[in-house]
Amino acid sequence: MSKRDPRFTSELWTNLCRLFGRKVSFSPEYHAQTDGLAERMIETSEDMIGRFCAYGLELKDSDGFNCDWWTLIPVLKLEYKTSVHSSTGKTHSQLEK
């Protein structure tokens, strides 16, 4: 879900999503609740990535090699989907069912 920001409606973004097999859903125009949810998700994602990047120089894979922050995206996604959200008392995965 994305708001209708030109960064997310551009041809580049559309092609990237298509390349990675992702479907982009846009919030209805002038729908503040949905835009707020999208903004909160973006803020949470940026915070999670930022926290991992802060320790980026210390990240090692199982063989002891340094790894880049983007390799942690699956871990961040799992962490987000299995964390209990304060507003619902449920995990994101529970709400998807």
One digit per residue, the tens of pLDDT, for the chain of length 97 reads: 455 566 666 777 777 777 877 777 766 666 666 667 677 777 887 887 777 777 655 666 677 666 666 777 787 888 888 888 888 888 877 877 6
Q: At residue 38, what is the residue type?
A: A
Q: How many domains does the chain have?
A: 2
90 with 57, same domain: the answer is yes
45 with 92, same domain: the answer is yes
Using the structure block, give the residue that is written with the tokens 């909160």: 40
Torsion sign, CA atoms 41, 46, 47, 48? positive
- Structure confidence at residue 14 (pLDDT): 75
Phi–psi pair at 2, nearest 5 degrees = -140, 150
- Structure confidence at residue 7 (pLDDT): 61
- Structure confidence at residue 21 (pLDDT): 79
Domain that holds residue 84: 39-96
47 with 17, same domain: the answer is no
- Structure confidence at residue 76 (pLDDT): 80
